[in-house]
Chains A and B, each alone.
Chain A
Amino acid sequence: MAMIRASLQKLSRVFHGGQAGILSRLATNLAPVENKSVSEISKDVIAECNQLIEKNASRNFAIVHLLGKQWRVTDGDLLVVEGIWPPNIGDQIKLDKVLLAGTKDFSLIGRPLVQPGLVNVTATIISKGLSHTRTHFKKKRRKQYMRINFARAQQTMLRINAVEITNKINAKASNEC
């Protein structure tokens, strides 16, 4: 019995014994080996991303800079923007400051903005009104100081109509030769 147990232990040591075990060697073989140069890899990745863009396989999203804030938007989103802002209801606007755009499988990260004309984010103004009344109440104890102010901010509601990646990555712009 003892002999069997010892032999089993030996076997298990062969299979699991740290660095030299058979299983561990197999495991390291599973890791992908890339022998390509960096430029080749980046070319391959860009080609694949362009294929994905052409297929339009999944929903897109973008991070958009709007009135000092960054919003993560996708088709059909609603945003509420506070502060005085000229666009009026029914207006269709294009959100140009795209910081990042992405699909399910890849992301395009701007430095700081994604190249102009690559991503198209359009929105409609739905509603423009005033917020509820906010109370700004200040008081200092034992100092005969008390202020109460009321404020209502302008609220503009946007509907995101589309987030589209319209162009190919690294494609030349139409005005470029």
Chain B
Amino acid sequence: MSAKNLFLNSGFVRAPLQNGVGRYVCQLQRIVLKFCKSHGGSRGMRDFIEQDLVDFAKHHPGVVVYLKPRRHRSPVIVGEYLNGDRVWMNVHNKTHEEITKWIEVLRTQQGDIASVRLRKYQYTDHPSIQGPWTPFTFKDPELNTAELPSSKFGANNRLPMSATEQLRLMFEKQKISTKTEDLKIAE
């Protein structure tokens, strides 16, 4: 199963309305809690409404909270965002704590971010500041006026030392050592 075969859109990192530049705006605008007053599946939801809902509304004045009781239907949370996204979540048989956590997730995210697979984890308007690298960046400026082909710039200095060169080096070293020995003897 590859990502190609999933019904999952891919996208890039975006934030609506330059959010966070200068000021930050909470993106969750409206949250609707649908529940049943009598069924057991809504038990956790009813607990949340009784204990935490007033505090939630007090702490987050930017979020509009609606309650929608309906008979014999499972509980549902729907969040609506500034960019038009709508997130629907079934919370049947979820406990009070679980519902608290899910509502926090809905509040802090900036839209329906779970519906896209991110292709990149960074977005920038300025991909390069010092200019993109070319083969000539950080090269000796003398190269600009050199006449090519030149032995200085064209030399292949990336090859490992060959056996011949090694032998020659050894020979030279030997010559030097024999010379010094001769000198010592002469002294």
Given contacts A78-B123, A159-B21, contact A133 B145 (CB under 8 A): no
Query: In the complex, what's the smallest C-beta–C-beta distance from A23 to chain B, in angstroms?
Result: 7
Chain A nearest CB: distance from B109 CB in Å?
Answer: 3
Q: Determine if B129 and A31 form an interchain contact, defined as CB atoms under 8 angstroms apart.
A: no
Residue from B21, B141, B146 in contact with A76 in the complex, judged by beta carbons closer than 8 Å: B21
- Complex Cα spacing A161 to B18, Å: 11
User: B131's closest neighbor in chain A, by CB?
Assistant: A104
Q: Is the CB of B108 within 8 A of A71?
A: no
A170 CB, min distance to chain B CBs, angstroms: 22
In the complex, the answer to whether B15 meets A78 with C-beta atoms within 8 Å is yes
Is the beta-carbon distance between A128 and B124 smaller than 8 angstroms? no
Q: Which of B8, B118, B126 contacts A80 (CB 8 A)?
A: B118
- Among B1-34, those with CB < 8 Å from A are 1, 8, 13-15, 19-21, 24, 26-27
Chain A residues near B147: list those with CB within 8 A: 16, 23-24, 27
A159 near B19 with CB under 8 A, answer: yes
* Interfacial chain A residues near B176, Cβ < 8 Å: none
Residue of B1, B27, B115, B129 near A103 (CB, 8 A) is B129
In the complex, chain B residues whose CB is within 8 Å of the CB of A27: 145-147
Instruction: Summarize B's interface: helix, strand, loop or mixed.
Output: loop
Q: Does B157 contact A (CB under 8 A)?
A: no
Which one of B20, B21, B105, B125 has the greatest number of beta carbons of chain A within 10 Å? B20
Separation of A74 and B52 alpha carbons in the complex (Å):
41
Most interface-central of A76, A104, A126, A131 (chain B CB within 10 A): A126
Cβ–Cβ contact A152 & B15, under 8 A: no
- Closest approach, in angstroms, between the C-beta of A77 and any C-beta of chain B? 5
Query: Chain A residues near B126 (CB, 8 Å)?
Result: 59, 61, 74, 76
- Kindly provide the distance from the CB of B47 to the nearest chain A CB, expressed in whole angstroms: 23
Contacts of A103 in B (CB 8 A): 129
Among A23, A126, A152, contact of B19 (Cβ-Cβ < 8 Å): A126
The answer to whether A137 and B15 have CB atoms under 8 Å apart is no
Q: How far is the CA of A109 from the CA of B58 in the complex (A)?
A: 48
Q: How many Å from the CB of A97 to the closest CB on chain B? A: 17
Contact in complex: B20, A126 (CB < 8 Å): yes
A-B pairs with beta carbons under 8 Å apart, 25 shown: A27-B145, A27-B146, A30-B145, A31-B141, A59-B126, A61-B129, A74-B124, A77-B123, A78-B122, A79-B13, A80-B121, A81-B121, A126-B15, A126-B110, A127-B15, A128-B109, A129-B114, A130-B113, A132-B8, A132-B115, A152-B114, A155-B113, A157-B13, A157-B15, A159-B20
Residues of A at under 8 Å CB distance from B? 16, 23-24, 27-28, 30-32, 58-61, 71-74, 76-82, 88-90, 102-105, 107, 124-133, 135, 137, 152, 155, 157, 159, 161
